[in-house]
């Protein structure tokens, strides 16, 4: 039996192959309680609190909101592309600054950036070292804000 190949050439059934599937899309959610429905799987410094379905940063000093590797649905891996999405609301002051890093703060995934109210979708790629796996947002004392709907997914 003969079949047409990808380039229109005739190939025998003994050399038939399936075309490669194009990459794209996203993997499953990696964070637990990214909707801030519970603080159980999050570790907040004194400047952060989780209540009413949001995580709130109070702007009193720099602080962190973290999820340890063991509390995540799946681990952050080396040399991998990710999409981080979240919503910022109730910003006071002119802006706020934060960055994203491994749960121990040893490896920076997204460098310090200014944020304002609105939805965000940020892509980043891990390097050859992810430190102590996990996820952490570090904020500076330049503006209080709420964050919700935090989603971390692998880009496929």
What is residue 133's predicted lDDT score, i.e. its pLDDT?
A: 82
pLDDT band of residue 40 (cuts 50, 70, 90) is very high
What is residue 23's predicted lDDT score, i.e. its pLDDT?
A: 59
Alpha-carbon span 132 to 32, nearest angstrom: 18
100 beta partners:
110, 137
The answer to whether residue 91 is domain-embedded is: yes
The answer to whether residue 14 is domain-embedded is: no
| pLDDT exceeds 50 at position 140 | yes
The answer to whether residue 147 is domain-embedded is: yes
The answer to whether residue 9 is domain-embedded is: no
Contact 67/42 with Cβ under 8 angstroms? Answer: yes
Q: What angle do CA 105, 109, 76 make, to 5 degrees?
A: 85
Q: Which domain CATH number covers 127?
A: 2.60.120.260
What is residue 5's predicted lDDT score, i.e. its pLDDT?
A: 41
Report how many domains make up the chain: 1
Tens-place pLDDT, residues 10-36: 444 444 333 444 457 999 999 999 999
The answer to whether residue 2 is domain-embedded is: no
Report which of residues 78 and 55 the model is more confident about.
Answer: 55
Domain hosting 64: range is 27-155
pLDDT band of residue 42 (cuts 50, 70, 90) is very high
Contact 146/117 with Cβ under 8 angstroms? Answer: no
What is residue 4's predicted lDDT score, i.e. its pLDDT?
A: 41
What is residue 90's predicted lDDT score, i.e. its pLDDT?
A: 94
pLDDT band of residue 51 (cuts 50, 70, 90) is very high
């Amino acid at each position: 039996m003969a079949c047409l190949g990808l380039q229109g050439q005739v190939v025998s059934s003994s050399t038939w192959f399936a075309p490669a599937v194009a990459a794209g899309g996203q993997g499953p959610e990696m964070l637990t309680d990214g909707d801030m429905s519970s603080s159980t799987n999050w570790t907040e410094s004194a400047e952060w609190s989780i209540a009413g379905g949001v995580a709130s940063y109070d702007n009193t000093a720099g602080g962190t909101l973290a999820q340890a590797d063991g509390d995540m649905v799946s681990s952050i891996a080396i040399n991998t592309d990710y999409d981080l999405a979240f919503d910022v609301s109730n910003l006071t002051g002119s802006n706020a600054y934060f960055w994203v890093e491994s749960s121990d703060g040893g490896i920076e995934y997204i460098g310090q950036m200014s944020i304002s109210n609105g939805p965000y979708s940020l892509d980043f790629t891990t390097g050859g070292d992810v430190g102590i796996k996990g996820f952490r947002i570090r904020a500076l004392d330049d503006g209080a804000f709420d964050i919700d709907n935090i989603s971390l997914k692998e880009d496929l």
